[in-house]
Structure 1
């Protein structure tokens, strides 16, 4: 009897579709932040564009997607990271002694501010402690200067 009433209740209940922005917001709530700190503006961008490959903790997927943790490319020159985000990456790369051959798509559709935010988030999360990336830096790389 209980099952039947639950079944009837669930049949009558309508579920609204979830937008990509709402899903990204919900996922970003599970990403790491230091307690007491304001949420980083790049966290939602990371949740929407990076999390599925690089994981919530930045550990990546062994043999498929490299980690974003210390010792990875995250600490490299900001211009190189911006270029990777804008052009994508393909071919064989080595990160922390492991080889990766998967394709990373371009994220050139993101604004200068979104790219700066997500790169700054990654450079200050997952055990990293590197200087932030500014929208002005992204703009220079995008314009080829």
Structure 2
């Protein structure tokens, strides 16, 4: 199990870095990508896992799954807004409705939000571009 985890920690950042390079969302290095994902996992464990579960599977009709949904893989600004503002409305995601309110997590720093969203967008079977601190900062400034 440790060998599998170590392999994943070494291979995932390289794949993530290669994908980022293709989409002009360059991460400074594979190590930086790995660090962002590892930091994001810490934030996820502390703030997100209790509702969305450790495996990102969510809870039917309450908390949406984070695995391979258009919501997670799509528009980054929409994800940033939901972290900053929370949600009190039912959400329909890929044909399923989820009704549990999500608290705003605007107490998180821009980099923490970027890290956790990058972790989510590259975990649970997902593969998507990174979220950056400047993207979060831009959305936060629109909130005020």
- Same fold per superposition (TM over 0.5): yes
Q: CA deviation at 1:113?
A: 0.5
1:108-141 Cα shifts (integer Å, max 9, x gaps): 0000000000000000000110100000110111
Comparing 105-114 with 85-94, greater Cα deviation is found at 85-94
1:67-125 Cα shifts (integer Å, max 9, x gaps): 00102410121111101100001212112322111100000000000000000000000
Match of 2:126 among 116, 121, 128: 128
2: distance between equivalents of 1:34 and 1:67? Answer: 25
User: What's the RMSD between the two structures over aligned residues?
Assistant: 1.9
Q: Which runs of 5+ in 1 are unaligned?
A: 1-31
Partner residue, 1:144: 142
2: distance between equivalents of 1:134 and 1:68? Answer: 19
Matched, 1:42 2:15: no
Give structure 1 regions of 4+ aligned residues with deviation exceeding 2 angstroms.
32-39
Secondary structure class of the residue paired with 2:92: strand
Count of residues in correspondence between the two structures: 114
Partner residue, 2:21: none
Q: Which runs of 5+ in 2 are unaligned?
A: 11-33
Partner residue, 1:78: 76
Secondary structure class of the residue paired with 2:114: helix
Greater relative contact order, per chain length (Cα 8 Å cut-off, separation 6+): 2
2: distance between equivalents of 1:135 and 1:44? Answer: 17
